A = this chain, B = another copy of it.
Amino acid sequence: MTAVPVSLTDVRELVDGALRAAVGRLDPRTYRVAAYHLGWTDEEGRPRAAPAGKALRPALALLSARAALAPQESALPGAVAVELVHAFSLLHDDIMDGDRTRRHRPAAWTIFGEASAILAGDALLALAGEVLLEAPGQGSARAAHALAAATRGLIAGQSLDMDFETRRKISLDECVAMAAGKTAALLACSCAIGAVLDGAPESLSDALEAFGADLGIAFQLVDDLLGIWGDPDATGKPALSDVRSRKMSLPVVAALNAEGPHAERLAEMYGRADLSEDDLREVAALVEAAGGRAWAEREAERRIQRAAEHLASARLPEPVRAEFLRVADFVTRRDH
């Protein structure tokens, strides 16, 4: 398994307390749903040990404070806020997409009902703004505005994603735009929020945000590659899971938009409801033969390179730059 950079493991502990304090403000019924969704409790409300998630966004938020020469602790409200928005979006996405499983457990809505899960998501979103606006310092309003704008981008991405389900033809540009909203908007905000909280000049926060935007697209490309060719033991998802669900992921849309017989055969098979295990393997092979896999791998590399260039333009302290790059490296080389 790919090694997780130190920052990602340390962060969970640092952020966990602040996150729990924030969520603890919710009314008891809403808290129960949120705590389950965040992996803190089981269906009965009993504490459970294993914390869920990669804490990628909080790690980037803390790093971004160091980019502005501020102590990473100063970005804690930002780290908590981006994680709250991330949790809100997963909670609502599972309802909207009808996904019954989240991180190897039943999705919150399947346990508590759709109504309670909708409400808990709403609460997490409102709470994110509340927490951020309590951060000391001049930058909190700017940070909260950036987070609200990122949330709008995230919602636009989800909206486009749902629209795709009703359509036969999706261009690659549209598919990238979807990932730019659904995945990259919040990652970009996470990469800058600590600097914004510290009142850093826009030239710095813009560069960090641009880094995060490209990192976010690379993240989604790798996610989509793992969704087809990932090792089930590492990803925790069944083999070929994205093919099984006919997900209009980036490699698939790239392949569908290629010319030639592979793309045509792929389009025909992807529209069918009844694919055998052999068929699923053939679909994956067609995505590869039509060039979808190679494109996605190249594009992920290109995005990471562009992300690194944005960083270089920002003149960060060398250890901070190196750590941002380690996270980028982790994102592209991870196997789950």
B96 touches A119 (CB 8 A): yes
Q: From A98, which residue of chain B is reached at the shortest CB distance?
A: B115
C-alpha gap A145/B136 in the complex (Å): 13
A29 touches B122 (CB 8 A): no
Partner of A140, one of B141, B152, B162: B141
Q: How far is the CB of A123 from chain B (nearest CB, A)?
A: 5
Chain B residue contacts of A27, Cβ below 8 A: 155-156, 159-160
B126 touches A155 (CB 8 A): yes
A: number of interface residues (CB 8 Å): 40
B133 touches A118 (CB 8 A): no
Q: A144 in the interface, Cβ–Cβ < 8 Å?
A: yes
| Interface residue ranges, A against B (CB under 8 Å) | 25-27, 29-30, 88, 92, 95-97, 114-116, 118-119, 121-123, 125-127, 129-130, 133-134, 140-141, 144-145, 148-149, 151-152, 155-156, 158-160, 162-163
Given contacts A95-B118, A119-B155, 5 further A-B contacts (CB under 8 A): A126-B155, A129-B129, A130-B145, A133-B144, A133-B145
Return the 7 tightest CB-CB contacts between A and B, nearest first. A141-B141, A96-B115, A27-B156, A133-B145, A126-B151, A130-B148, A129-B148
